[in-house]
Amino acid sequence: MGGPDALDHSVAFLKQRDGLDKTLKLMRYVSAIAAYNILADDPSSVTGTKLRKLDKSTGITRKYLKLGKFLGNLKELRALLRAGEIASRQRIAPAGNRTPDAALASAAAFANRLNIASQLAQLVYNFAEQLNWAAKIGLIRDARRRRKIERWTSVAELATYVFTINVSMLTLWRCAQRETRARREYGDRGRRKKDDDAADAGGGVPSPLRLLRGLGLRGRHDSEESTGSDASVNDDGSGRDDTIRTERDLARALEAIARERTSARLALVADLADVTVCFGDVRDVRALTAPGTVNALGLVSASCGVVDKWRSTKV
């Protein structure tokens, strides 16, 4: 068999809270666009009215699905804080060392701090969404209080996008660095192999550098200019051996990097669409809060979210 069964994939996708949430978001904006166009031609259309009700009901359902989601942010925040503590105990490269390994290690530490800030913002937003849901269904009836809740929810949402956009951009940079490092490592190994083969063919005597490698040692020049050539391209501190030794290893590493890059691009496009609408709500920009603009940007965000979540769902 080739890939996973589509039915199994769909079931696994919809079993996840995020998968169901992304599906409802796509359903909401498709119905909103259809209702907007139908009612523009015929304001008394029954179909348009039903689609508008579907838009509103799916919006409330999505808020209901977020009940307790802030606890997941709290758990992720705890994991990130522990990971940061572990990383801080490890040896840090000198400030003047700008090797690819040092750059990636610095980026990883910065990404950890950025993710911590992002999870904090999302925790506040998801908690505020619970109050917003209570206001939408009428549990909170005071109009002034409801407006305040909606405004502070929008501000908290805007804060989350500031961090998630930066996380996506940093991920794209790290993917580019890891790809360069993987190709360089594979090229270095190929050149060393050719040099060793040439030495053997020339006199049958292996080069001194090869003898040092056979003893598990390396020359000073080799260790300085190829810093981390035997390190994992996807080094995340897990201790896995992802060393690039063969063309198959390189292809596997590049495939993993490509998946992560695509996911980061989809998340970036979705966040840019959402932050535009959110900024319009917070600043009350009419051009950004127009129904046509909101629905179009919402559809872009929903489509990117569904595709990203579908790709990351494991069957």
pLDDT in tens, 257-310: 999 999 999 999 999 999 999 999 888 898 999 999 999 999 999 999 999 999
pLDDT at 281: 87
136 band by pLDDT with thresholds 50, 70 and 90? confident
Phi and psi, residue 99, nearest 5°: -70, 160
Q: Taking the mean position of all CA atoms in its chain, how far away is CA 173?
A: 13
pLDDT at 232: 38
CA distance 231 to 289: 50
pLDDT at 201 over 90: no
pLDDT at 89 over 80: no
Q: Are 268 and 260 in contact (CB under 8 A)?
A: no
Span 12-38, mean pLDDT?
95
Cα 266 to Cα 164, 263, 271, 303: the distances in Å are 12, 5, 9, 9
Q: Which residue from 83, 70, 92, 69 is spatially nearest to 114, judged by alpha carbons? A: 83
Q: Which residue from 306, 221, 237, 232 is spatially nearest to 270, judged by alpha carbons? A: 306
CA angle 275-48-139, nearest 5°?
60
Report the 10 Å Cβ neighbour count for 68: 11
For 159-168, the pLDDT digits (tens) are: 999 999 999 9
pLDDT at 34: 96
The HSE-up count of residue 301 (CA atoms within 13 Å, CB side) is 21
Tokens 């980026």 appear where? 107
pTM: 0.77
